[in-house]
Structure 1
Amino acid sequence: MKRGSVPVGFDAARFGACLKQRRLARSLTLQELAARTGFSVSSISEMENGRKPTFPKAAGICEALGVRLSRVLLEAERQAQAARAAK
């Protein structure tokens, strides 16, 4: 990568943090979200903590949270850009 260029890519940690923020804003526990999605508590927790999700899991969790996957991806990218700009 050239010096000064902005890295673009999927940031699983920021994406997971955005999912967790949305879950907590809806006062949902991991167990409640797991029940809504059919995914295990551990897989949701791993995703919230930065493990790269599969597309179906990411989409399913977003649907259960009432938000579009594209919106969460954009939110995570904006946070990553802000963090890079602050350096």
Structure 2
Amino acid sequence: MKGPEENRTHYLKITESNSDFWTEHILFRDYLINNLQYREEYQKLKENLFDEHAGNREPYTKGKEEFVRKILKLAGFKGKIL
């Protein structure tokens, strides 16, 4: 990452295709694409977390962890959730 943390606007992740990290993200994305209820729930969660933690990415990201784990289990992810 470049520049001071308080000025960062983007977060880039790089991974190898077919790694557990890659598989998690693809499963999560595809599950939300195909399940409107969870997609809307995730959107509301993100909006609420943004309102609570605007400008502080760490608690915003941590606040999504439980939801992400739930979706990965529902999507059938068998690996270790990172």
Instruction: Return the TM-score normalized by structure 1.
Output: 0.33
Instruction: Return the TM-score normalized by structure 2.
Output: 0.35
Which of the pair is proportionally richer in helix?
A: 1
